[in-house]
A and B are shown apart, each in its own frame.
Chain A
Amino acid sequence: MALSPERKKRLTALFKDEVGEHLRKLSSLLLELEKGPGEAEIQSIIEEVFRSFHTIKGSAKVLNVAVIQAIAHLLEDLFTEIRKGSRKVHPGYIDVSFDALDSIMACLEQDLQMSVDDPTVVAVLRRIEDMKRNPPKPGEARGRGRVAASDADGDSPQGDAAGAVRAALPAGPGRGDAPATASASGDAGISSPAPVGRRGEPGAPGAIESPGAVRTDTGLPSRADPGGPARAEPGGQPGDQIGSRDVAGLPSRSPATGGATRGDPGSAGRSESAGQARTEPGLPSRDEAGGAGRQDALAALRGDAPEPGAGRGDAPGGPRGGQARGDTGSTGRGDPGGPARVGPKRGADGKKLLPSERLARRTSYETIRVNTEKLDSLMNKVGELVISKIKGDQRLKEIREMSTLVVDLIGSSKLLRAALPTVPSEGSGAVYDSFHQLEEKFQDLERKVSALQREFSNDVDRMGLVSRDIEDDIRSLRLLPISDLVDPYYRMVRDLARELGRKIALRVDGGDTEVDKEVLEGLRDPLLHLLRNAIDHGIEGPEERRAAGKPEEGTIRVGTFQRGMSIQMTLADDGRGIDPERIREAVVRKGLAAPDRAASFSREQLFSLLFEPGFSTRNEVTEVSGRGVGLDVVRENLASFNGSIEIQSEVGKGTTFILKLPLTLITTQALLVRVGKQVLAIPSIAVQRTLEIDPVDVRKVDRRHVLMLEGKPVVYSTLATILASKVPPRSGSGKIHVVVLSDGSRHVALQTDMIEGEQAVVHKSLGANFIRVRNVAGATILGTGKVVIMLNPADLIRGALGVNPLAVDLGRVEDKKARILLVEDSFATRSFEQEILESAGFEVVTAADGMTALDILAEETFDGVVTDIEMPRLDGLRLTRRIKSNARTKDLPVIIVSSLSAEDARDRGLEVGADAYVAKGEFERDNFIKMLRDLVGP
């Protein structure tokens, strides 16, 4: 795998964060569950537990962490059954889940290096499976069969004692068996899962429950007692033994040597423990090897001090039983002190140590998760700061005016003094004195005002700088490297290629490019889809490649680089490429255009058809592009955050998709344009260019207004029309300001009244009630505090292509043909149908969807409507219903044209009041035109 170590490290860190968070959540959920909440609560807890395990499994799968994946998978299954009600919640499940959490945590602590063969893992897995196979009967004590790794807290309300005892005893027998190996290598034993661990202090069941105590013990035996190895538990230091015992509140026993201690438990207990020991026999012994590492991990996980000796120190820090174990070191032995108390106490409560608390102690808070709302709110406040800065500039201007005033005053006073007689007359001395004082005060004022001006100017500048810095910092908080998105795909590409018997390598350039988290998330589906397409259809099999003189291994390159405030991502394969001729064939075959018209389509036009809705459908397009979802949806997805996509392809050489995305969503580069009095913002990423044209440059071609740009016709409309703005369009013959918008494959030119310039703006939501408003993407607040509406370029493009009232108006003047509103979302089909209708003598106005059609119907009159069924926003059936339920339009004939199965569509169409139905294939037939004439008149 081509993961660089840094990336891998980064991904691992992210994964650990995420899973750690889930572990903490799971711990508290499980604890809640254990408290025995009401039915409804149980349901919701189970639901959440299930989802967490599911998420953990998913992430583990992506990163290929087999241990975590396996554990989470089994538990997800288990909780699925509980969720479905086919199992009842049993304390045993909770125990086993805690064991599982511990193992997952251990795996995290070991930097995901744990092997699935690790005995503790094997034991946990086995235990979950046992649990699934033989559901515990209600009331049965848990604690049984527990892996050493698990807590010893056998505190199920039912059967505490038993559990405790059992736990306590791993004792004699257990230990006895394990040992062979163990004795050989003192620590080795540790790995063993052990029942041994449980050998707590039998006498006091309560005590045992303190996981700390219990666990402690485990460790010790390993060393203290040759036999001991069995316990999987960490402990490490011989000392623990005693410490633990103290913890458990059984000091008397502590002095006893390991063996003896263990023997203490009651005989009943012992026998059980023996059983236990037997159940888990094999696993433990197996693993001496990895022992040390795991040991640490486990220790860590429980909150132990990994290094011996350190233990005591920490212990007090956390009152949890865990520390007891931490004490490990010799100190521990000496002084049963603080921690010790904890154990018993908790035991007495019958409460176990919160795993979440243990986890919490261990978590290092290098990263935090912050709700994006908080960042947005922060950003808002910076916006306020910027406004204050602007106001500050205003104040500064006022101070300057004041300063000028003062200077004027001083000037006036000088003139006055000059005009005064040089020799004061009698009695006027006081006046002179006053005048002198006045002059001095003016001087003083002047000094103070200019000082104020200077200082204030500095302050305002500084405020501006700092707020800009804060803004940048907040923005950077939301940035993540592209590699976070792409890295998991290495494996997917490899697996998918292998499945198809292909050899494909994924190469990533510019993985360090940072983009907004939301952009990254928005890219996930489109990128996955494009990758799948490339693997599935783009890259040939090895033989075919060899035959074509290419290396056997195909390559998919994902390159990302930043260009100004946008990101360009290319996804290129070196596969067979797309043959435009095959698209042309498909167009004709599907009846989207007549052969002669199709023949006139340029290469670019043909490629852009791939993004048309209804073109690349599941059944039809396997040969050219995707499976499942068409590229139209990829485009729409990208458009939803102002991204665009283009395709380039050469037969035999490969296909390249070029995605253009905004760098961040909080600030967007926007072009400010003016329509009438209103200033509007258009995301710059969708703006291909701006230009000034002469009105005569706009021509009417094919019933549309078109602007010739670099020799190519571009559909032309006015922004005011699309926005249904009541503002009268500017008249006159002067230059017109035009913005050319593009979504990669489609271009339109829009007339505005003025182009005000480009600036970075903060994208804001219009409020929770604005779910989807045509043409409106949101708003922004300019530095002056003024709210400006941010337009949605994808809608504008659709609007411009679909509605062209200018053309309509001219058409009306020209003749008195019957007017048909043609509603069809596919550009190709629409052009085709339009052509047929026009050649039959109808005047045709087109709309790309039902919503647009309704808008047009509200403004103009028609003699008939011809509509497709499947369309975005408002489909043909609902459109028909709306037409038929409106008093003004209810008599308007509606003809449904659809490729859907005839009967179904006909029935549905008639149900909503359509007057006729035509299958797409029959469109060209004379009888359709005849029927249309019958319905709408000449």
Chain B
Amino acid sequence: MTVGDEILRRRAQELKLTESTEIQGEDLVDLICFTIGTTRFGFTVREVQEIQPLTDFTPIPCTPDFILGAANLRGNILTLLDLKKFLGLPEEGLQDARRVIVIHSTVYLIGIVVRDVFDLVRVPVQNILPPLASEGGIDSRYVRGLLPDLSVILKGSAILEDPRIVLDEEGVSSLSKRMEED
């Protein structure tokens, strides 16, 4: 076991408020912890593609308010999500947003704007508490669980698979489609 592992392990231990148990390798989960406003959230490392500094973004007209805008990710356009608005949480403003956590599924790539990424922790799965019915007003379908410090571990896939993410205002009729119908 490397020193790093040891540190993570100790940290994980510290996070536990309950009495310590033996940590089984396969029972550990790596989490990226971050804050938006004053709320602490986490994603599993597997859901996160990368973390980038938030330099600049451009609002996109005619999109829902939880779409913050578009940013340049190495020459590609990355859609930025205002997670608080998306989850329907009270506004705290994003003035202090400094980083973008890029989460991905096979199809979509979305950037979540956060204030700070403060930790990478390895936590035993059994320490993750099941989501409450409505933890702090967050719909439980987006929540994987809670850490003992009450960080909300989000389900990236639920965000990426949310139909609201897909913006489709009735397609433009295509000629070939109409031709076929004829």
The interface of chain A, by Cβ under 8 A from chain B, is 380-381, 383-384, 525-526, 529, 618, 628-629, 633-634, 636-637, 639-640, 678, 680, 723-725, 764-776, 778-779, 781, 785-789, 791, 851, 872-874
Note all chain A residues with C-beta closer than 8 A to B75. Answer: 380-381, 383-384, 781
B179 in contact (CB, < 8 A) = yes
B70: contacting residue among A384, A526, A771, A787, CB under 8 A: A787
CA distance A629 to B175 in the complex (A): 8
Residue pair B108, A767 in contact (C-beta under 8 Å): yes
Distance between A510 CB and nearest chain B CB, rounded to angstroms: 23
Note all chain A residues with C-beta closer than 8 A to B57. Answer: 787
Top 10 nearest A-B pairs (CB, nearest first) are A380-B75, A771-B168, A723-B61, A637-B175, A873-B170, A628-B182, A787-B58, A525-B175, A383-B75, A774-B62
CA distance A634 to B176 in the complex (A): 10
Q: Could you pull out 10 A-B pairs where Cβ atoms are within 8 angstroms?
A: A633-B175, A766-B60, A766-B79, A769-B107, A769-B108, A772-B170, A776-B61, A778-B77, A786-B72, A787-B71
CA distance A592 to B54 in the complex (A): 54
Residue of B nearest to A775 (CB): B62
Residue pair A776, B72 in contact (C-beta under 8 Å): no
Residue pair B166, A771 in contact (C-beta under 8 Å): yes
CA distance A724 to B176 in the complex (A): 32
Note all chain A residues with C-beta closer than 8 A to B76. Answer: 380, 764
CA distance A773 to B59 in the complex (A): 13
Residue pair A769, B174 in contact (C-beta under 8 Å): no
Residue of A nearest to B71 (CB): A787
The interface of chain B, by Cβ under 8 A from chain A, is 56-63, 69-72, 74-79, 107-110, 165-176, 178-179, 182
Residue pair B58, A768 in contact (C-beta under 8 Å): no
CA distance A385 to B162 in the complex (A): 35
How many contacts between A and B, using CB within 8 angstroms?
127
Note all chain B residues with C-beta closer than 8 A to A633. Answer: 173-175, 178
Note all chain B residues with C-beta closer than 8 A to A529. Answer: 175, 179
Residue pair A789, B70 in contact (C-beta under 8 Å): yes
Interface centre among A636, A779, A851 (most CB of B within 10 A): A779
Residue pair A789, B58 in contact (C-beta under 8 Å): yes
Given A629-B178, A724-B62, A767-B108, A772-B169 contact (CB < 8 Å): yes
Note all chain A residues with C-beta closer than 8 A to B79. Answer: 766-767, 769-770
Interface centre among A678, A764, A787 (most CB of B within 10 A): A787
Residue pair B175, A851 in contact (C-beta under 8 Å): no
Note all chain B residues with C-beta closer than 8 A to A787. Answer: 56-58, 69-72, 77
A771: contacting residue among B109, B171, B182, CB under 8 A: B171
B72: contacting residue among A526, A767, A770, A785, CB under 8 A: A785
Distance between B15 CB and nearest chain A CB, rounded to angstroms: 34
CA distance A771 to B69 in the complex (A): 16
Residue pair B167, A773 in contact (C-beta under 8 Å): yes
Residue pair A380, B175 in contact (C-beta under 8 Å): no
Residue pair B72, A781 in contact (C-beta under 8 Å): yes
Residue pair B78, A767 in contact (C-beta under 8 Å): yes
CA distance A424 to B69 in the complex (A): 69
CA distance A526 to B178 in the complex (A): 12
Residue of B nearest to A630 (CB): B178
Residue of B nearest to A875 (CB): B170
CA distance A678 to B56 in the complex (A): 12
Note all chain B residues with C-beta closer than 8 A to A779. Answer: 58, 60, 70, 77
Residue pair B174, A776 in contact (C-beta under 8 Å): no
Residue of B nearest to A782 (CB): B72
CA distance A384 to B59 in the complex (A): 22
Note all chain B residues with C-beta closer than 8 A to A628. Answer: 178-179, 182
Residue of B nearest to A382 (CB): B75
Residue pair A767, B109 in contact (C-beta under 8 Å): yes
Note all chain B residues with C-beta closer than 8 A to A384. Answer: 74-75
Extra contacts, 13 of them, besides A629-B182, A634-B175, A774-B169 (Cβ < 8 A), are A628-B178, A633-B175, A636-B172, A678-B59, A680-B61, A768-B108, A769-B166, A771-B168, A776-B61, A776-B63, A786-B72, A787-B58, A787-B69
Distance between A314 CB and nearest chain B CB, rounded to angstroms: 45
Distance between B17 CB and nearest chain A CB, rounded to angstroms: 39
Note all chain A residues with C-beta closer than 8 A to B170. Answer: 772, 851, 872-874
A872: contacting residue among B78, B173, B175, CB under 8 A: B173
Note all chain A residues with C-beta closer than 8 A to B107. Answer: 768-769
Residue of A nearest to B171 (CB): A772
Residue pair A636, B175 in contact (C-beta under 8 Å): yes
Distance between A471 CB and nearest chain B CB, rounded to angstroms: 12
Residue pair A766, B70 in contact (C-beta under 8 Å): yes
Note all chain A residues with C-beta closer than 8 A to B71. Answer: 787
CA distance A70 to B59 in the complex (A): 56
CA distance A678 to B58 in the complex (A): 8
CA distance A10 to B20 in the complex (A): 75
Residue of A nearest to B176 (CB): A525
Note all chain A residues with C-beta closer than 8 A to B72. Answer: 781, 785-787
Distance between A659 CB and nearest chain B CB, rounded to angstroms: 13
CA distance A769 to B60 in the complex (A): 13
Distance between A726 CB and nearest chain B CB, rounded to angstroms: 9
Residue pair B77, A772 in contact (C-beta under 8 Å): no
Residue of A nearest to B166 (CB): A769
CA distance A778 to B174 in the complex (A): 18
Note all chain B residues with C-beta closer than 8 A to A874. Answer: 170
Residue pair B166, A789 in contact (C-beta under 8 Å): no
Note all chain A residues with C-beta closer than 8 A to B179. Answer: 525, 529, 628-629
Note all chain B residues with C-beta closer than 8 A to A634. Answer: 175
Residue pair B77, A873 in contact (C-beta under 8 Å): no
Residue of A nearest to B164 (CB): A769
Distance between B28 CB and nearest chain A CB, rounded to angstroms: 32
Residue of A nearest to B63 (CB): A773
CA distance A589 to B150 in the complex (A): 71
CA distance A764 to B61 in the complex (A): 16
Distance between B132 CB and nearest chain A CB, rounded to angstroms: 29
Note all chain A residues with C-beta closer than 8 A to B175. Answer: 525-526, 529, 629, 633-634, 636-637
Distance between B136 CB and nearest chain A CB, rounded to angstroms: 26
Note all chain B residues with C-beta closer than 8 A to A526. Answer: 175
CA distance A431 to B173 in the complex (A): 85
CA distance A322 to B49 in the complex (A): 49
Residue pair A766, B108 in contact (C-beta under 8 Å): no
Residue of B nearest to A850 (CB): B170
Residue pair B167, A789 in contact (C-beta under 8 Å): no
Residue pair B62, A773 in contact (C-beta under 8 Å): yes
Note all chain A residues with C-beta closer than 8 A to B77. Answer: 764-767, 778-779, 781, 787
CA distance A813 to B168 in the complex (A): 37
CA distance A686 to B49 in the complex (A): 38
CA distance A640 to B174 in the complex (A): 9
Note all chain A residues with C-beta closer than 8 A to B110. Answer: 767, 769
Residue of A nearest to B59 (CB): A678
CA distance A764 to B71 in the complex (A): 12
Note all chain A residues with C-beta closer than 8 A to B178. Answer: 628-629, 633
Distance between A122 CB and nearest chain B CB, rounded to angstroms: 36
Note all chain A residues with C-beta closer than 8 A to B70. Answer: 766, 779, 787, 789
Distance between B13 CB and nearest chain A CB, rounded to angstroms: 40
CA distance A81 to B167 in the complex (A): 41
